[in-house]
Structure 1
Amino acid sequence: MQFTELEMRFSVLARLVCALLTLMAVVGFTANAKQLTITDASGEPLQHAVVELPQPVQTPDSVAIMDQVHKQFVPYVLTIQKGQQVNFPNSDDIRHHVYSFSPTKPFELKLYAGTPNAPLQFNNAGVVVLGCNIHDSMVGYIYVSNGNQVLISNARGVVQIPHNVDSVTVWHPEQQDEIASRKSVTLPSGVDSHTVMMNTEPPAPRNTFGERFGNNE
């Protein structure tokens, strides 16, 4: 079947219109958002900062995934809603023993390979620090929101905040403050960008998971 010249021109025009509408949508989103940049005390961008907005969202029906790849938790920081379930597949060819001391969700998944039979449900808001009883270098975090929208900063430390939001809370896994605390930030009105500084420190060397996280949450 061959297209007539008129049909070909119409097809090209339709694609151009679709591209224009997409561009307008992107520009419209940018125009209605302001940039929030999270940095450390030296001005370096902080990836993995969690920004919680005072905007309620519905708890997803989907099960979130905290994987284990190359002896690391993936993602390093997982954000979920209170009441959401999380599965902990082991994609390594070795076994892991995942657990948490955190009051938000203490649990233990004893030495296993593959995928546990059932996901775990996280009914309390807060921060859950994950470790592996076999591999001490494995540390991951689950940030459980109390039903509000959450964003996570990219490699440039940036998140896009709707213009109508005037206050947020910020959390980072390497913050100097207590691991479960959050920094309250009031956003200035009439500006398109704002920077938030977090005092951070690299995780201290440790021999066991419990030495760092067992008694200070």
Structure 2
Amino acid sequence: MNESRLLLAALSLIASPAIAGDLDLRIIDSAGRPVGDAVVTVRPAGGVPTGPIRFPWGTTMVQQNIAFAPHVLIVPVGATVKFPNKDKVRHHVYSFSKPARFEIKLFGQDESRSYTFTSAGAVALGCNIHDEMSGFIKVVDTPYATKSNAAGQARINGLATGTAQVTVWHPLLKGKDNEMLINLPIPGSGTVNKSVSLALRAAK
């Protein structure tokens, strides 16, 4: 009898739907204008799941029209990023950032190079040939990550209920490591809607 009750209890737990809520942020500046390319990462109550992290947007940063595209790329720790050159001129990619100090020496049109990122953090990229080129790779250790679109919207689904640590990063954000931390309660179902105002430095 006791064994039957235990079995029924276990089956009921398996059949129960996961308790999870969604987060919908609107990222704005101090004047209320939408901010794109702000990276939002979340560590839900109870931590992040184990296992490999994959994002739908891939791990490629193209050099095209004398610019890095996308301007901001999110990749998981351990990802190998490809740097294909689609310009008619050569590029020389480098970074002096603490999470990844490296350089990829001159390579030309339709050539590609790659680099593996092993530490979490923000990596600022430049080109030794073209000073006007800049890009950023945000290396993360959570699968709950996204970046705001041109309208400032950033949404992450399926977060465990409880208080979540939400980090917002932007290359122009004033503050340590260009980040701000917010603790937000996530409900068992439904969506948390919140506007987040960033104090940004003037773009150079």
Task: Please give the range of the TM-score, normalised by the shorter of the 2 chains.
Answer: 0.7 to 0.9
State the shift of 1:120 in Å: 1.0
Aligned residue for 2:84, secondary structure, equals coil
Contact 2:25 2:195 in 1 (8 A): yes
TM-score under structure 1 length normalisation:
0.71
- The two structures, once aligned, show a CA RMSD in angstroms of 2.4
String of CA shifts for 1:20-51, please: whole Å, max 9, x gaps. Answer: xxxxxxxxxxxx53421111111111100100
Contact 2:120 2:140 in 1 (8 A): yes
Whether 1:129 and 2:127 are equivalent positions in the alignment is no
Q: Is the alpha carbon distance of 1:108 and 1:177 closer, same or farther for their aligned partners in structure 2, counting shifts above 3 Å?
A: same
Contact 1:187 1:194 in 2 (8 A): no
Aligned residue for 1:136, secondary structure, equals coil
* 1:177 match: 175
Contact 2:23 2:156 in 1 (8 A): yes
Aligned residue for 2:97, secondary structure, equals coil
String of CA shifts for 1:153-209, please: whole Å, max 9, x gaps. Answer: 11111112336363311101111224x3421112256674111111112333xxxxx
Runs of 4+ in 1 over 4 A off after TM superposition: 188-191
* 1:200 match: 200
* 1:187 match: 184
* 1:53 match: 42
Aligned residue for 2:201, secondary structure, equals coil
Q: List aligned pairs for 1:96-111, cutoff 5 A.
A: 96-111=91-106
Percent identity of paired positions between Structure 1 and Structure 2:
36
Contact 2:35 2:151 in 1 (8 A): yes
Instruction: Tell me how far apart the structure 2 counterparts of residues 127 and 134 of structure 1 sit (CA, whole Å).
Output: 22
For structure 2, the 5+ residue unaligned runs are 1-20
Whether 1:64 and 2:59 are equivalent positions in the alignment is yes
Relative contact order higher in (CA < 8 Å, ≥ 6 apart): 2
State the shift of 1:64 in Å: 1.0
* 1:40 match: 29
TM-score under structure 2 length normalisation:
0.76
Contact 2:30 2:199 in 1 (8 A): yes
Contact 1:37 1:194 in 2 (8 A): yes
Q: Is the alpha carbon distance of 1:40 and 1:93 closer, same or farther for their aligned partners in structure 2, counting shifts above 3 Å?
A: same
State the shift of 1:68 in Å: 0.6
Aligned residue for 2:171, secondary structure, equals coil
Paired AA for residue 93 in structure 1: K
Instruction: Tell me how far apart the structure 2 counterparts of residues 60 and 131 of structure 1 sit (CA, whole Å).
Output: 25
Instruction: Tell me how far apart the structure 2 counterparts of residues 199 and 67 of structure 1 sit (CA, whole Å).
Output: 29
Q: Larger strand proportion, structure 1 or 2?
A: 2
String of CA shifts for 1:55-109, please: whole Å, max 9, x gaps. Answer: 4462349961010110010000000000111011111111111101111111111
Instruction: Tell me how far apart the structure 1 counterparts of residues 38 and 27 of structure 2 sit (CA, whole Å).
Output: 7
